[in-house]
A and B are shown apart, each in its own frame.
Chain A
Amino acid sequence: MKVTILQENLAHGLGIVSRAVSPRSTLPVLSNVLLATDEGRLRLSATNLELGITCWIGARIEEDGSTTVPSRTFSDLVNTLPGEQVKLSLDTSTQTLNVRCGSSNTDIKCIDAQEFPPLPVPEMDGIIQLNVVDFKEMIQQVAFAASTDEARPVLMGVLMTVEGDQLTMAAADGFRLSVRKATLSSPAAEPVSIVVPARALTELARVAGDGDEMVTMSIPKGRGQVIFRVKDIELVSQLIDGSFPDYNQIIPRSHKSRTLVSTAALLKACKQAEIFAREGSNVARLDIKAANGEMEPSELEISAQSEETGSNETIVEASVDGIGLLIAFNVKFMREMLEVVKSPNVALETTAPNAPGVIRPVGDEDFIHVIMPMHLG
């Protein structure tokens, strides 16, 4: 293999694929990045067997070939090289990669590309397409609500369903639920229901860029995998087995109180409360005060206290429709939810101190978030 490539492009490509490298794997080749010439370009791939990322970058190919290079060593080196042409040449007999750039000359010991696990090739029929910006926003609004508890693997995933032209993503860690819908530019040929690891989607959102491109998604039959492709990047993820809880049953159908507040004001209040709540159980009290008369204002008081650090109270102007209520939430859940709400106002629907609270951005029917309160004991 003999390849010449721009340092900037190589560094960019390595930055994308290196997130799928598993540095402490028992399989040494998984700590490496695959370099392979591929129809006039250089292909970089990394996988931890659950998640695989591939990136194609422009290069001048003098001689085809492939190898796998230790990710950390190679990335650290490339990041320090001057912004010039980098010449890569492989000695296949010793699996040594020579890297020349400017006055620098490096030899890196590699592992034969034969040992690298094969990555699947996407099937181009039955694909689903969505605008990158929309797709990233969906992931951002949903993936954070997935669980990190390995005891319930299915909850570490995001349920993606497609019915006609409706795409829905939902994640729930047992205490909160986030659901976001979007309309596809063209309807899917057949309905889809898969659980994708939240980590894979977060990585996809990270590497996908901001342009006008489309994300394509394909689910090769019978392989338990999903493949996403954006421009020159491909991400393959294992799907999570198991049945996702029926989240529609969790979303309350009615409420006794609807509190309308400014998203920014509530977010600020929650951030302040979190400073004091984080010492303890992350609990913040929300005192929803309904107006007593026509002239009385209604308001929402957010408070938190800590034995060690002190206490904080913030009053947020609110329009309360229904009963007053004192309810406690994990303020981190509140903050994380408010950070992804795009509309200037949100409605918080509540019924009782031990019943789920529902948050709906005002004027955005596509996003809904449910948080279970905390019991104060």
Chain B
Amino acid sequence: MPRKILHLDLDAFFCAVEEQRDPGLRGRPFAVGGRPEQRGVVSSCSYAARQFGVRSAMPTARALRLCPSLVVVPARHRAYSEASRQVMERLYQLTPLVEQISIDEAFMDVSDLPDDPEQLARRLQARIRDELDLPCSLGVAANKLAAKIANDVGKKAAQSSGPPYAITVIPPGTEAGFLAPLPAEMLWGVGPKTAARLADLGIRTIGDIAAWPAEDLIHRFGEHGRELALRAQAQDDRPIVTEHEIKSISQETTFARDIGSDKVVRDTLQALASKVSTRLRESNLAGVTIKIKIRWPDFTTLTRQVTLPHPTDQESVLIKTSLDLLEKVRHSGQAVRLIGVGVSGLGPPIRQLSLWDHDEEKSRLLQEAIDSLKEKYGEQVIQKGKQKS
């Protein structure tokens, strides 16, 4: 039995909320974002603004050059969170199997409902429009990957000056055919760097990847290549992850050969800690217990953990704490087979603000800026300088 997965994405969400506040904005080119004189960027832009070429994450100053009549509205994140909460509430009324990926995006598993998934999607879209006055689009397919791509394709295809209100269905069994003509970049895990390497091989579409021998992709891209091959064939059996199921977030790596170099071990741990912190922030979580795992060449494995006074999702804290833990278990030059870092004791990223230590808030702002750059331009666009050891 194929599963029935819905992917819901609110259309120009921040703008839709602003239009409720000021109906005069409807149909006009406007954007939610920071002011140009403060080097602000566009967080969300109306469909009318998109026709001028304005896009989210674009500097506001540039957006104004493209569209001089653009109205720039300051962001009101509390209003967006509240509207998002109301939308998610309606999803949960349909099924408890809801995986919220961001403020305006979620997956639902409706396999257990007797209804036709396309009808469910239509009813949900109408309900959110009628009750909350918010436009949304849905993708319907047998797995998360296909549902998400279906939705992306459906939204792009709608070329009106208003919200797309798209519903795009991939019937079970036709996923690979649906994906085949799409550009390779639309596949998860294909960033600009991978796309360039694929293009060198003459691979441009998802179908090209699917047709390429999987062993060769694994040979060239490692574990990532295996995932590419599976995904290009629209194979994705990942379940809907409701937040209650996340107990810890961790990353580990086994070295191709045992590593004795202090620098390599430390750099690897640092990179793993950085990945864990990114995943924490993506999931809107913070953890209080940080644990490292280390395996020596003789396969003995040990873990060391520390519980912080406050939960954290910050890269700098995770890196420093895991390096401190490493320091305690490994002497200089000692060879390592596997190393990993994990965070548990997860909860919402609530934090106690400090009376005078504003460095932490500054580093948090820096982290947010880096995250949004990475989200827009890919992982490789920016790196923090290596921590001095």
Which residues in A have some Cβ–Cβ distance to B below 8 Å? Answer: 149, 172, 174-177, 245, 249-250, 280-281, 283, 328, 330, 354, 356, 370, 372-377
Sample (23) of A-B pairs whose CB atoms are under 8 Å apart: A174-B356, A174-B357, A175-B353, A177-B355, A245-B356, A250-B355, A250-B356, A281-B311, A281-B348, A281-B350, A283-B350, A328-B350, A354-B353, A372-B352, A372-B353, A374-B350, A374-B351, A374-B353, A375-B350, A375-B351, A376-B348, A377-B348, A377-B349
CA A245 to CA B354, docked complex, whole Å: 13
A330 surroundings in chain B (CB, below 8 A) = 352
A176 and B355 in contact, given A281-B310, A377-B284 (Cβ under 8 angstroms): yes
List 4 additional A-B contacts (Cβ < 8 Å) besides A356-B355, A375-B352, A375-B353.
Answer: A249-B356, A250-B356, A283-B350, A328-B350
Q: Are B349 and A175 in contact (CB under 8 A)?
A: no
Q: B355 to A280, Cβ gap below 8 A?
A: no
Give CA–CA (A89, B94) in the complex, Å: 84
A174 touches B350 (CB 8 A): no
Q: Closest chain A residue to B351 by CB distance?
A: A375
B355 and A172 contacting across the interface, CB-CB below 8 Å? yes
Query: What separation, in Å, do the CA atoms of A250 and B357 have in the docked complex?
Result: 11
Indicate whether B286 reaches chain A with its CB closer than 8 angstroms: yes
Bound-complex Cα distance A354 to B347 (A):
20
Out of B347, B348, B354, name the residue touching A175 (CB < 8 Å). Answer: B354
A175 with B284, Cβ < 8 A, contacts A281-B310, A281-B347 known: no
- Determine if B309 is an interface residue (Cβ-Cβ < 8 Å): yes
How would you classify the secondary structure of chain A's contact residues: helix, strand, loop or mixed?
loop
Residue numbers in A under 8 Å from B354 (CB-CB):
174-175, 372
Contacts of A376 in B (CB 8 A): 348, 350
CB-based contact A149/B350 at 8 Å: no
Residues of B contacting A370 in the complex (Cβ-Cβ under 8 angstroms): 355
Q: Annotate B339-382 by CB proximity to A: 1 below 8 A, 0 otherwise.
A: 00000000111111111110000000000000000000000000
Question: Closest 5 A-B residue pairs measured CB to CB?
Answer: A377-B349, A281-B350, A372-B353, A372-B355, A375-B351
The contact of A149 among B286, B309, B351, by CB within 8 Å, is B309
Q: When chains A and B are docked, how far (Å) is the Cα of A330 from the Cα of B286?
A: 17
A177 to B355, CA, bound (A): 8
The residues of A that contact B348 with a CB separation of less than 8 Å are 281, 376-377
Residues of A contacting B347 in the complex (Cβ-Cβ under 8 angstroms) = 280-281
Contact partners of A176 in chain B: CB under 8 A = 355
Expressed in whole angstroms, the minimum distance between the Cβ of B356 and any Cβ of chain A is 6
User: Within residues 300 to 320 of chain B, which ones have a CB less than 8 A from any CB in chain A?
Assistant: 309-311
Chain A residues lying within 8 Å of B311, measured Cβ to Cβ, are: 281
Across-interface contacts of B284 in A (CB, < 8 A): 377
Q: Does B355 contact A374, Cβ atoms closer than 8 Å? A: no
Cα-based distance from A85 to B348 in the complex (angstroms):
63
Which residues does chain B contribute within 8 Å of A280, judged by CB atoms? 347, 350
Q: Give the complex CA separation of A375 and B364 in angstroms.
A: 12
Residues of B near A283 (CB, < 8 A) are 350
Q: How far is the CB of A223 from chain B (nearest CB, A)?
A: 30
B92 → A minimal CB distance (Å)? 15
What's the Cα separation between A177 and B356 when bound, in Å? 11
Please give me the residue from chain B that is nearest to A172 by CB atom. Answer: B355
- Rounded to whole Å, the gap between the CB of A368 and the closest CB of chain B is 13
Known: A149-B309, A281-B310, A281-B311. A373 touches B350 (CB 8 A): no
Q: Which residues in B have their C-beta under 8 angstroms from that of A328?
A: 350
Q: Provide the residues of chain B in CB contact with A177, threshold 8 Å.
A: 355
In the assembled complex, the CB of A31 is this many whole angstroms from the nearest CB of chain B, namely 30
Q: Determine if B355 and A174 form an interchain contact, defined as CB atoms under 8 angstroms apart.
A: yes
In the assembled complex, the CB of B310 is this many whole angstroms from the nearest CB of chain A, namely 7
CB closest residue in chain A, given B313: A377
Tell me which residues across on chain B come within 8 A of A172, comparing CB atoms.
355
Could you say which of B310, B349, B356 has the most chain A C-beta atoms within 10 Å of its C-beta?
B356
Task: Report the bound CA distance from A373 to B310 in whole Å.
Answer: 14
Residues of A within 8 Å of B351, CB to CB, are: 281, 374-375, 377
Q: How far is the CB of B383 from chain A (nearest CB, A)?
A: 25
